[in-house]
Amino acid sequence: MKLVYLTVALLGWLSAQSTEPNKQTSQSDYVQNSNHTSALRVIREKCVRCHSGEKPPNGLDLTTVDKMMKGGKRGPALVRYKPYESLIWKVITAQDDFPVMPPFDRLSEIEVEAIRIWIYHGAMQSSMSGQEP
């Protein structure tokens, strides 16, 4: 039931964004594309600041989808189309005895759901402001 409320909240939040779907874009495409951008923004702003560079924690570099799929010491961080098998999902939801990440700037329920949907839809890479992801 909580997931239903979270999904409704996410859809409401996405519909309040400044970009409106055009007549040639279906509503589901619009929601998926908006969610894609939101997930990448969250990862860039809250994860990449630590998980990048020469020696990222546990060898896990989150700067590109390819590097997420390669993973670090604990294996791949990302399994496309399978959010519940992805390490990134397990750490942002503190499952399977993983510590919750990020430790100091916890993700909101909407941010967590945006990442789940992004992974479920294939975790496509996008360039934003010249930075990856």
CATH fold, domain 2-16+25-120, is: Cytochrome Bc1 Complex; Chain D, domain 2 (1.10.760)
8 Å CB contact between 69 and 88: no
The Cα 38–Cα 93 span in angstroms is 17
The Cα 21–Cα 94 span in angstroms is 35
Residue 53, number of CB atoms within 10 A of its CB: 10
Question: Average pLDDT over the chain, rounded to whole?
Answer: 77
Handedness of CA 17, 23, 24, 28 (dihedral sign): positive
pLDDT digits (tens, 9 = 90+) for 3-33: 544 454 455 555 444 344 343 434 344 344 5
Q: How confident is the model at residue 99 (pLDDT cuts 50, 70, 90)?
A: confident
pLDDT digits (tens, 9 = 90+) for 108-120: 999 999 999 999 9
Q: What is the pLDDT of residue 18?
A: 38
Least Cα distance to 44 among 62, 20, 70 occurs for 62
In the chain, % of residues over pLDDT 70: 67
All structural domains of the chain with their residue ranges: 2-16+25-120
Q: What is the mean pLDDT of residues 102-107?
A: 89
Q: 131 - beta bridge partners?
A: 128
